Structures are given as structure tokens and as C-alpha cells.
Amino acid sequence: MTGPVGYWQVDDINASVTALLDAGAHVQQEVKDVGGGKLIASVKDADGNTIGLIQSA
């Protein structure tokens, strides 16, 4: 990734990733536990924009 990535807070990261994939996005980073109960993931949408997702415990 290059440049900053904005992360959207979501309640269910797996459901959110699935919804974005169904809308034509592609996984850039699989769901990953970064400690403290936080999960992150990122996808690239059809226009090439990176979308970050974060779920807190």
C-alpha cells in the first residue's frame, strides 16, 4: 500500500468484507488480529481505492 488508508469502524468485519467483495472489491489484506481485541482488513474497490476496516472488541 502507498499513502494513507482510512479505516472504517465496523461491528462485524467478516460480514463487511464479504459485502464489499460481493460489490466487486478485492481483498488487499485478509482479516488480521493486531492485538487488544482489534481486527483489521483492507480491500481495493473497483475504482482502485483502498478501504480499511477495523473492528474493536
Percent of the chain whose predicted confidence (pLDDT) is above 90 = 89
- Residue 47 φ/ψ, nearest 5 degrees: -90, 0
- Residue 6 three-state SS: coil
Q: Which domains can be identified in the chain, with CATH numbers?
A: 7-55 (3.10.180.10)
pTM, full prediction: 0.89
CA of residue 10 relative to chain centroid, distance: 9
C-alpha angle 38-39-45 in degrees, rounded to nearest 5: 140
Residue 57 is predicted with a pLDDT of 78
Spell out the alpha helix ranges (H) of the chain: 13-22
CA proximity to 20, closest of 52, 55, 56: 52
CB-based contact 3:20 (threshold 8 Å): no
